[in-house]
A and B are shown apart, each in its own frame.
Chain A
């Protein structure tokens, strides 16, 4: 733990916690404009959150502690990832947690907590959503691990900060086949994991097509606010990881005010740009049939496997 890591951790916490609803707002606004609407403005998710946090939460009859604890677990795991991952600075506040396996496991833990809560409600849609989410996560997690692992092979460390630092030192790596294959695989799994089109439609009203929404149908008020906030933070964290693993430039490597300011600006610009691209792309896509989703995810797993293979075969002798 060093000064850079601690300052970075605080900055990242503030940025992700306060900024993630704005990211969702920007994405909804882009989508609204492309659909010919006026849009509710980028502050609308914050207004929704403010209202939800003031409302009462309802615990449906027959639900257990699992249902009550799940939003807290989801928020807690996401906040830890937001603090430790290399978003603004290459150093991490808690270096041992900024590990590939730890970060992916933390993000998976949040998803599993929510799926258990969906099952706990005992409603048809809660169980259906949980089952679908588990199908998707079972295919997403290996791809997520393997594609980042492909990048870590050359570095000789699974520490995310180390991977980012080594890419900074050797920019040619970004256009290597390993990086490109891993990037495509990672884009597909991030779309699946954050519940965007074509895997899941975040603005659907039709229960039969829901994945993420179906699990949270029973949440109300404050609990719902926490779940939505955590979803926004997860989206920010995933986009931040994608941006910094493949285009790390701008990230702060020294604890000077200028470097930190550049790090913050670079992170915001990269994440907002990715978010705009994602939501603009969604306008052109229809939701994939649920039985086709495993094919898409298997394809991305194949790409990540190729990336790992390539990273061994194309490894430059040191």
Chain B
């Protein structure tokens, strides 16, 4: 326990200084008032985006400081964070998850696969991009997108 305390003292703050607020802000951000609960849905991703989302919410990029938080249930969420091209098996679960969200609700498509199927375009198991299944509000490009880009995309929703 003492060694853990020493480590905490030695490490100090690892969160990087906050970059300036993104200039373009969604008009819907005011509705949420600086608090966005997010449910993550993997619609068929290769898990590259998941690793980046994991570090976006880790101590270094600390997306929680802008009021975004990952939650365990779509009922608690304001936004869906969808990764990967929507595979045939995940199209219906994604639609149902979207329906389970209370209004007002938003969808963030993370990564090139979620935007336009990426390398999986035209594959036999893929239904289409996320916007073909549920309406998308924010898109974050990259394969995979850097944690900074994910944080910037989420800040458009939190407005902080």
Contacts and interface: CB of A to CB of B under 8 A. Distances in A.
A47 B35 contact: yes
Contacts of B14: 36-37
B19 interface: no
B71 interface: yes
A23 B50 CA distance: 32
Contact of B73 (A34, A41, A217, A284): A217
A8 B122 CA distance: 69
B72 A210 contact: yes
Contacts of B103: 55-56
A33 B62 CA distance: 11
B102 A56 contact: yes
Interface residues of B, number: 34
B158 to A, nearest CB: 9
Given A47-B34, A50-B33, A207 B72 contact: yes
Contacts of A219: 75-76
A35 B67 CA distance: 17
B18 interface: yes
Given A39-B64, A47-B33, A217 B75 contact: yes
Contacts of B34: 47
Contacts, number: 88
A47 B67 contact: yes
Interface stretch (B4-12, B108-116, B126-134, B136-144): B4-12
B104 A44 contact: no
A176 interface: no
Interface of A: 32-41, 44, 47-48, 50-51, 54-58, 204-207, 210, 213, 217-221, 224, 283-284
Interface of B: 1, 4-5, 8, 11-15, 18, 31-35, 37, 59, 62, 64-67, 69-73, 75-76, 78, 100, 102-104
Closest 9 CB pairs of A and B: A36-B14, A220-B75, A220-B102, A38-B15, A47-B35, A38-B65, A217-B73, A36-B59, A221-B102
